[in-house]
Structure 1
Amino acid sequence: MSPQSPNSHPTRSLAQELRARNDEQLRVLLAARGDLLSPLPTDISALASRASAPPSISRALDSLNLWEIQVLEALVALPEPITIESVIAATSEDAKLVIEKLISLALVFPDEDQIRVLNAIRDSVGNEPTGLGPVLGLLSAKAIKKISDAPENARTVLDRLTWGPPRGSVSDIKKPGVAIKWLLDNDLLLAVDSKTVVLPREIGIYLRGGKIHRELQNKPTDYRGREFTQSEIDKSAVGAIITLLHQIEELMKFWAGEPPAILRSGGIGVREVKKAADALGVDENYLIFIAELSYICGLVTVDREEELLPTSAFDLWLNSTHDERWQLIVNGWLTTSRVSGLVGKSEARYISALGPEIDRAAAANLRGLFLKLVAEISPCAPDLSGLSQRVRWERPRRGVGLHTDIANWSSREAEWLGITGRGAISSFGSAILAGKDDSGLSKALPKEIDHILIQADNTAIAPGPLRLDLAQELSLIANVESKGGATVYRFSENSIRRGLDNGRSSDEINVFLTKISKTSIPQPLAYLIADVGKRHGKLRVGIGWSSYIRCEDESVVNAILADRRTAHLQLRKIAPQVLFTEIDTEEAVNTLIEAGFLPAIEGRDGALVTRKRSAARAISKTRPPRVIGDYEIPRDELLTAALRALRAGDRASAKRSGIPTTVASATPTETMAALTVAIKSKETLVIGYADSDGGVSQRIIDPIQVMAGVLVAYDHGNDEVLRFPVSRINGIALVE
């Protein structure tokens, strides 16, 4: 069709265009722009109003890629009437599909052969789209003809302003110089104020050869890297998953025994991070990551004492299957707005782990986009440089300045999680991203075993994943030295003492190891257990805000007193076998352990107290961190209900044009008479109805029948047949 002038027919509104859409087209719009349903608009007019509101427009623009934004910029920049043909001429043939998408998103809409652009879109793009100036209007055609006559110095000015910015400075508009004066006289420049001139939009487009952009971004960057087999990918992922679940468990147990204090500003300090990383033998970045995972999944929380402690949810998690544990962690990572990579990134001051400053609204969206892009090239791993450029192309408005970091962090974290292996999507990652209940991880993991092999060097090898109860018991008396397909445990004086502190006797430790080991207990380990067991409890620390330390061996007491590592306890000898300190029991015990002694805690009754430090749990209610970010894609059920409500609201709105402003009160007899007439003549009524909450509302109805004092009628507002007790109807009127 040939272009028409904007005034050749009445301008169509967005509401009219939406009203003309079928249910499937509206469903596509509502699914893509979930914020339009929160809360549900009353009718199509309200939907159009919300769809054109700046906050909703901004969210919709955030979902566009760079090429789609360029097409939208062209729509804003081109003079009206705007047609598909004019947009294609200014961009490329590929723009046609983009325009269809923009229409489906209600960012622009068709009006016969024209395309209308919402005012909110124009405001968002700005007054000078792609560096083009203001519209000249009717004078533009005449001005363009004079460009070929421009003097060389005037042409130089035009060339400088062609690709923007379109504004230039002059010392005095009254004395602009020969070139500027010629351009002003011929309407090729406009005076903005006494010191500024601007190149009109039509002139700029002409000088650009009818194009809007210097370079079109309609071809995204290729980011394909090295290819692997799925077996190689999954093998790497399984190892990462085993390590992840183990390290989270170890971190929770460590913090149960030595809970880190929370900073006033929130989060935990650098020292606590390093302390935990050293205890687990992991990199600090990895420690921060698993700490954040534990926090967002509610496995750890801030207790009343402003300390970080595991929650009861950790115990439930620990007793779940490996697949269930992993899925909980992965789903938490996929949906969180927290970005652990930001910890320590600020130049102004340190951003703390688990603190309030690492939320980014775009995080989950960009993370999901990263995984989608990686999945698209499976079984290839991505080239990270190309992938970060692709992420920037896909979401140019989201996470500005963070695209490269998010891509790098997501790559690293997905590998740690086992969503990817060797950089490519694992089969378990594919399953969880597809929303499957069974990720297939259980089948890929080695079968649980019930035995270990104790070596002569005080180590034990578990040639597969140990049964949970055995692993928990073994971890009381041995430290994990390495983990992979097989786990290596190391027995030491401190680890045996830990078992004794947790209530195990030397005999019980020997019985347990004899039962689960397929090799006999070597002599060095037997001697170690016996020696530590013999000495355990000889040196005792009494419970209290201040503590006493006693030992029957006076040489041990003197050694403690002389040791520089115990100096801060400010020990005083109050008897040959007793020392006193004003430091609390826990710190006194920890200091003695660090100094190489083997203290035990003594209760007020003189009996040894079991130190079940790994069982400490937060008393306060779990407070998982907030999640900020995008609206979720509405479920099909919600979309179906929303469409029904919108259509019903539209019908009700149409009926309201003939609704009287007031509904006269009526007696029960008058009400029954009016209902009888309306049922016979199939008329639409408006009734005043007393709701169950005591309020009175107006309902637009088509009465069907009255039975036993109850009116059965079709309610236009609810789009369904409802029952209305006649006694609650206090007014009635006919809809014209």
Structure 2
Amino acid sequence: MKSVEALAASLAALTPDELAELLDARRVHGDTRRRTGPGPQSLDELAQRLLEDRSVGDAVGRLTAPGLQLLSAAVWLAARRHGALMPQPYWTPLEPSSRPVATEALLEFLAGDDQALRAAAERVLTELQRLALVLPADAPPDAPPDAEELALPGFVHRHLAEAMGLSRPAAQLMTEAFNAPEVHRIAAGLDLPSNRNRETAQAAVVAALGDRERMRSLIAGAPPDVAEMLQLLVQGPPLLRTHCFVPLGGYHYGAATKYQLRPGGSGDPATDWLAEHGMLVPVGPDLVELPYEVLDAAAGGRITARFDPEPPVLATGVRPVPEALPEARAAAASASRRMELLLAACAAAPPGIRKSGGLAVRDTRRLAKAIEAPEEQTRLWLDLAYNADLLGDHQEVPDGPAPRGRSRRAAVPSAPLRLLPTARYDDWLSRSPAERLVPVVATWAVIPEVLTWWPEYREETPVALVAPQDREAVPLRRELLRALASLPPGEGLGPVAAFAAETLEELVRLVGWHSPGLVTLDEDGLGRVLETLLEAEQLGVLAHGRPSPLGEAVLALLETDAADWFPCVPGVAAKDGDAYAGPLRLLREACAALLPPPQRTARFQADLTAVAAGAPSAALAELMGSAADRESEGHAVVWRFSAGSVRRALDAGMSADDLLAALREASEGALPQPLEYLVKDTGRTHGRVRVVRSACCIRSDDEALVLELSKTRVLAKLGLRRIAPTVLISTHSPSATLEALRAAGYAPVLEAESGVTVVERAPGTRAEQRMPDYDRMRRNRGRV
């Protein structure tokens, strides 16, 4: 019976609940994102869908180490029983039932005589059968009644053949490495009868290598260094660098390269002896492999597959830690404030984007100074703001019509590309600090890049605005949070920067058990893990080396398929992400718990300062920012009033009375007299100097003041000329004249031709939003 038919029959025996669990576990419904047309309409179609390489590969990629180890062991046993799987085009179908494996042999290979290990292997096997990754197979006609066999999907045979870490059979290695003359030469070295046929000679060599007694006797009479070298290869890996083989026809290496023994030997008698007797077979340039038969004989037939049914335990560095909430609250508050400062700095002085991509280092340093953060952290906030669609690139359109036809006029140079806040920024700015943090954290969760990781092989200088393209970044975040969430309550690993090397390695091994192949123990792998943890700590996702309540909410979001829809980020828009209402609700609640409601009032003091005991609301921050200078950040925000700062509010169109009324409304008590005197005095002098917006007149009803201006040396660059007792003209533009007068200590205002005071406001240019509508994309792809 073919595997599709056998699988369809086993599906028919499932209850509706069991079938629903299988469809959910294999993500059959979720596969519509990459497909068009209806889903499977019958059990036969469902069985075919479950056996497709794409579906099997997705399920295998989500297995833990014991599941992957069991499948790899089954593939290895299939190769031992049916021969190595010969290379073939990927579109060539492979019938799983053609390569069955005995269930008893598989369990013995995994557990040996260890009954507890065998029970664990049986549990893993049952789970893989439930996932339809291990299929039923018909036993041979002459098999005992209780002999059970299993089959594996074709994808598993093709992609897990070498995952065991054991050496391959001699027949496969010799077929790929040698032509007939070398096979005959090895047969002669083993004292085998001469045979002209290459297949017969190779079969004799394989049989001789598979004879344990003969191999032991041969090894016993070998040179002394041979036995020692074999023991090292048995301990693993079964690979060795040596020069005892050379490619045929020169020095070209390729996929189909054939090898011969090096004439005159390599200079190492032990490796030369092993090569001449077929115990080392070339698999690459100066690389040889020990065949399984020799490995089996040298190990005394006691080879078992590696099987780790239980995850490693974090032990090094685990200790009782304080409550995570205060530290996470401080980190979250800092992240929200720095993002606010960064966006404000980009709005005030938009940095330029390089033609080669990324932000110039000088602009990154300027922004780092503005938000009081190191450059690497500034790059993190820039990338998060950009991918949360709070920042975007913008290019000014040149004035005037474009030249038509074959105009000889010089081409108008294009305006530089700048980084500006998008239209989404204004809505973001009106929210509370907790609501502002939600899209930032959600973006970090689903962005496919470890933003602060800049490996050494990238020779260029680290820059912000990198293109996210690391597909393993999101799974790495998820598995790291899972691993740290497994710590007992009240225990953690402490600050990430203080992690010991052993702690980091244990964490990597635990992540590797949950998601094999995701991260390695080399320098690059450890660096990616460390930077991921540091990013999480800066956002308040981790505190004291364990997930904070915000980290638990992020993990709940990562358990969904939210990352599959990047660059759409759930939680960025006010109404998007309905498919993740539960995780988003947890994320918003966690942010609200970390960041208290914003302060809507401040305490005004006689020394012309105002203090807000917490993060100010958007309205309070706008009012205070217009009339005072911010002096300090932290748990309390301090502003200081001065004549210059009050003039700034009056220049924006407020009168002294209006400003005092707004400050009284924002005050926790009565305004101190020094502040009222400052505002009223500045208001009395404000506007005494009038700048006319015709290129460019200065007028004032105070003739003495007009005379003073015409004689002031610091204003000489304006070329002022008195044309009337109350009127001066300037050779500079109105904006330049206003700037020079204010720099000299005067308080002019801009006046229109009609005599009406012009309220000066900074231009509010915004970049276009790039992020598509989240729910609309899901509806278009049939996922809701």
TM-score class, shorter-chain normalisation, is: 0.5 to 0.7
Superposed CA deviations along residues 138-192 of structure 1, whole A, max 9, x for unmatched, are 7268522212212242434533543344466425638769867876787655688
Q: Does 1:559 align with 2:714?
A: yes
**Is 2:651–2:760's contact at 8 Å kept on the other side of the alignment?**
yes
Q: Does 1:430 align with 2:552?
A: yes
Q: Which amino acid aligns with 2:759?
A: T
1:398 to 518, 540, 543: 518
Change (3 A) 1:157 1:243: closer
Distance apart, 1:130 and its partner CA = 1.4
Residue number in structure 2 paired with 1:222: 314
2:24 to 19, 31, 55: 31
Change (3 A) 1:156 1:389: closer
Superposed CA deviations along residues 683-732 of structure 1, whole A, max 9, x for unmatched, are xxxxxxxxxxxxxxxxxxxxxxxxxxxxxxxxxxxxxxxxxxxxxxxxxx
Residue number in structure 1 paired with 2:292: 201
Cα distance in 2, alignment partners of residues 590 and 266 from structure 1: 35
Cα distance in 1, alignment partners of residues 552 and 282 from structure 2: 59
Cα distance in 2, alignment partners of residues 299 and 317 from structure 1: 8
Q: Which amino acid aligns with 1:124?
A: H
Which stretch of the first structure deviates more once superposed, 465-474 or 552-561?
A: 552-561
Tell me the secondary structure at the aligned position of residue 236 of structure 1: helix
Residue number in structure 1 paired with 2:666: 516
1:367 to 477, 489, 508: 477
Residue number in structure 2 paired with 1:74: 73
Q: Does 1:303 align with 2:329?
A: no
Tell me the secondary structure at the aligned position of residue 392 of structure 2: strand
Distance apart, 1:624 and its partner CA = 3.1
Change (3 A) 1:25 1:157: farther
Distance apart, 1:623 and its partner CA = 0.6
Change (3 A) 1:311 1:47: same
1:616 to 759, 764, 771: 764
Cα distance in 2, alignment partners of residues 191 and 236 from structure 1: 57
Cα distance in 2, alignment partners of residues 116 and 594 from structure 1: 84
Residue number in structure 2 paired with 1:170: 244
Superposed CA deviations along residues 654-691 of structure 1, whole A, max 9, x for unmatched, are xxxxxxxxxxxxxxxxxxxxxxxxxxxxxxxxxxxxxx
Cα distance in 2, alignment partners of residues 539 and 131 from structure 1: 89
Residue number in structure 2 paired with 1:316: 427
Cα distance in 2, alignment partners of residues 453 and 238 from structure 1: 23
Cα distance in 1, alignment partners of residues 75 and 603 from structure 2: 73
1:493-642 → structure 2 map (5 Å cutoff): 495-518=645-668, 521-522=671-672, 525=675, 529=679, 554=709, 558-559=713-714, 573=719, 575=721, 609-613=758-762, 616-618=764-766, 620=768, 622-624=769-771
Change (3 A) 1:543 1:89: farther
Q: Which has the higher contact order (CA 8 A, sep 6+)?
A: 1
Relative to the length of structure 2, the TM-score reads 0.64
Q: Which amino acid aligns with 1:559?
A: V
Distance apart, 1:349 and its partner CA = 1.4
Residue number in structure 1 paired with 2:207: 139
Distance apart, 1:30 and its partner CA = 4.1
Superposed CA deviations along residues 602-633 of structure 1, whole A, max 9, x for unmatched, are 667676543433x725253x113999xxx99x
Q: From the two aligned structures, give the one with the greater strand fraction.
A: 1
Residue number in structure 2 paired with 1:16: 6
Residue number in structure 2 paired with 1:461: 611
Residue number in structure 2 paired with 1:652: none
Cα distance in 2, alignment partners of residues 344 and 181 from structure 1: 41
Cα distance in 2, alignment partners of residues 269 and 597 from structure 1: 37
1:109 to 135, 146, 149: 135
Q: Which amino acid aligns with 1:470?
A: L
**Is 1:330–1:417's contact at 8 Å kept on the other side of the alignment?**
yes
Superposed CA deviations along residues 227-246 of structure 1, whole A, max 9, x for unmatched, are 345xx322333333333333
Change (3 A) 1:253 1:122: same
Which stretch of the first structure deviates more once superposed, 144-153 or 511-520?
A: 511-520
Residue number in structure 2 paired with 1:288: 379
Q: Which amino acid aligns with 1:220?
A: P
Q: Which amino acid aligns with 2:476?
A: L
Residue number in structure 2 paired with 1:266: 357
Residue number in structure 2 paired with 1:387: 507
Distance apart, 1:294 and its partner CA = 2.7
**Is 2:216–2:298's contact at 8 Å kept on the other side of the alignment?**
no
Runs of 5+ consecutive residues of structure 2 not aligned to the other structure: 82-99, 112-116, 139-147, 172-202, 246-259, 397-416, 557-581, 700-705, 723-727
Change (3 A) 1:333 1:169: same
Tell me the secondary structure at the aligned position of residue 366 of structure 2: helix
Residue number in structure 1 paired with 2:328: 237
- Percent identical across equivalent pairs? 25
Q: Which amino acid aligns with 2:492?
A: A
Q: Which amino acid aligns with 2:770?
A: R
**Is 1:505–1:533's contact at 8 Å kept on the other side of the alignment?**
yes
Change (3 A) 1:116 1:360: same
**Is 1:188–1:199's contact at 8 Å kept on the other side of the alignment?**
yes
**Is 2:393–2:419's contact at 8 Å kept on the other side of the alignment?**
yes
Change (3 A) 1:192 1:65: closer
Q: Which amino acid aligns with 2:650?
A: L
**Is 2:390–2:425's contact at 8 Å kept on the other side of the alignment?**
yes
Distance apart, 1:482 and its partner CA = 3.7
Cα distance in 2, alignment partners of residues 311 and 302 from structure 1: 9
Cα distance in 2, alignment partners of residues 88 and 479 from structure 1: 73
Residue number in structure 2 paired with 1:704: none
Change (3 A) 1:115 1:497: farther
**Is 1:108–1:118's contact at 8 Å kept on the other side of the alignment?**
yes
**Is 1:448–1:464's contact at 8 Å kept on the other side of the alignment?**
yes
Superposed CA deviations along residues 507-556 of structure 1, whole A, max 9, x for unmatched, are 43333323433455556655654676577667898989xx9797955489
Change (3 A) 1:247 1:89: same
Cα distance in 2, alignment partners of residues 464 and 540 from structure 1: 40
Cα distance in 2, alignment partners of residues 325 and 596 from structure 1: 39
Tell me the secondary structure at the aligned position of residue 482 of structure 2: helix
2:231 to 134, 159, 165: 159
Distance apart, 1:63 and its partner CA = 2.8
1:86 to 102, 105, 112: 105
Residue number in structure 2 paired with 1:489: 639
Distance apart, 1:276 and its partner CA = 2.5
Q: Which amino acid aligns with 1:419?
A: V
Change (3 A) 1:235 1:155: closer
Q: Which amino acid aligns with 2:314?
A: D
Q: Does 1:246 align with 2:366?
A: no
Residue number in structure 2 paired with 1:664: none
Relative to the length of structure 1, the TM-score reads 0.68
**Is 2:438–2:591's contact at 8 Å kept on the other side of the alignment?**
no
Tell me the secondary structure at the aligned position of residue 504 of structure 1: coil
Superposed CA deviations along residues 467-487 of structure 1, whole A, max 9, x for unmatched, are 543333223223444444433
Q: Does 1:210 align with 2:326?
A: no
Which stretch of the first structure deviates more once superposed, 67-76 or 256-265?
A: 67-76
| Aligned-pair Cα RMSD in Å | 4.7
Change (3 A) 1:180 1:274: closer
